[in-house]
A and B are shown apart, each in its own frame.
Chain A
Amino acid sequence: MEEFQIVDNCLMVKLPEEIDHYRSGYICEKADWYIVKKNVDHVVFDFAVTRFMDSSGIGLIMGRYKKITCFGGKVFVLHPDKQIKRMLLMAGMQNLVEIVE
Chain B
Amino acid sequence: MNNEMKMEFDAISVNEGFARMAVAAFVSAMNPTMEELSDIKTAVSEAVTNAIIHGYENMYGYGKHGDVIPAYETLHQGKVYMHCRINKDTFYIDIQDKGKGMADVEKAMEPLFTTKPEYNRSGMGFAFMEAFMDDLEVFSEEGSGTLVKMQKKIGAGSWIEAC
Contacts and interface: CB of A to CB of B under 8 A. Distances in A.
Interface of A: 18, 20-26, 28-29, 51-56, 58-60, 62-63, 82-83, 86-87, 89-91
A21 B127 contact: no
B94 to A, nearest CB: 19
Q: Which 4 A-B pairs have the closest CB atoms?
A: A26-B65, A25-B62, A58-B122, A59-B122
B124 A25 contact: no
Interface in B118-133: 119-125, 127-128, 131
Contacts of A89: 162-163
Interface residues of B, number: 37
Interface of B: 13-14, 16-17, 20, 35, 38-39, 41-42, 45-46, 49, 52-53, 61-66, 111-112, 119-125, 127-128, 131, 159, 161-163
Interface of A is mostly: helix
B13 A21 contact: yes
B16 A21 contact: yes
A50 B111 CA distance: 24
22 contacts: A20-B20, A21-B53, A23-B65, A25-B64, A26-B64, A28-B63, A28-B120, A29-B63, A54-B42, A54-B45, A55-B122, A58-B122, A59-B121, A62-B122, A82-B35, A83-B38, A83-B42, A86-B162, A87-B124, A89-B163, A90-B128, A90-B131
